[in-house]
Amino acid sequence: MIIKPLGPALNCAGRVLDLSRPRVMGILNVTPDSFSDGGVLYSGANLALDKVLHRVEQMVSEGADIIDIGGESTRPGAAAVSSQEEQDRVLPVIERLARDFDVVLSVDTSNPQLMLAAAASGVGFINDVRALARPGAIEAVAATGLPACLMHMQGEPSSMQQAPAYADVVADVMAFLTQRIEACTKLGVARRNLVIDPGFGFGKSAQHNLQLLNRLDQLQSLHCPILVGLSRKSLIGQVLKRPVSERLAGSLALAAIAAMRGAVIFRVHDVRETADAVRLCTSVFKEQVE
């Protein structure tokens, strides 16, 4: 069954992101150790700004509506980085992209200090894998007035894939997200500014991920737009026995299923291909050519 996605709009620092149709968020990892593309934007030990600009130009030309900039790897087993190191990686990139590109910029961080600094530098969206759970994070988002994504994760990146367990993964994820929504609204974050992400691959087995995707439409009862990150995930490798470099077809299949289950923002590595896939899903649902 095809589920109609929610269709509000998000005000991303003056750029309006209309969610009446699916939107693609391109991944920009300015990290040396992210699971799929760690280090590809580096020359030796240093981030290469020319590579960053070329990659962003490519993603925007391919249809990215949002560029999600992250300075801390959250792959399974990843080590934490200091607040200062994360800011040093991310802020110069944000400042340059805000100057050179007319696109919504997102910062992928759990660091309240970086949230505030990124907002001052031109970011329009905050994407937090820890659902604003760190001290001061909710207050930081409230102060910026920006939309934010709350993601479910069981545990921390360093240990989250060590025998994750749930009574009912969908019910547990929904209960967690409900609690985080309530915590945010109590501290001044407008509900219209909240996006939710079930956290595929974050403290979940392959079976948990399959159950979540199959019942993703149930998250629509929380009345927040749904963001999904399924691109190149280990689920694809476990089901199809494909290495990271051969997971495009699996990523597109999962994106299409998520679109039919109500997801509206897709965080991906392969922008053009995903944009095509989710646009076709939308056209089938509407039975018209856009």
Catalytically annotated residue among 23, 180, 233, 247: 233
Three-state DSSP at 18 gives strand
241 is catalytic: no
Catalytic residue among 75, 89, 232, 267: 267
**Cα angle vertex 205, ends 211, 22, to 5°?**
50
Catalytic residue flag (residue 21): no
Half-sphere exposure of 95 (CA within 13 A, CB side): 9
CA dihedral for 257, 289, 248, 36, sign (positive or negative): negative
**Residue found by looking up tokens 């693609």 in the block:** 24
Distance, in Å, from the CA atom of 121 to the CA atom of 113, rounded to the nearest integer, reads: 12
- How far is it, in rounded angstroms, from Cα 98 to Cα 107? 12
- How far the first Cα of the chain sits from its last, in Å, is 22
Give the C-alpha separation, 61 to 142, whole Å: 32
Judged on CB neighbours under 10 Å (0-12, 13-18, 19+), 196 is: buried
H or E element that contains 172:
helix 169-186
CA distance 131 to 141: 11
Q: What angle do CA 35, 12, 196 make, to 5 degrees?
A: 55
Between CA 197 and CA 195 the distance in angstroms is: 7
Tokens 């994504």 label which residue? 149
Q: Which residues are catalytic?
A: 233, 267
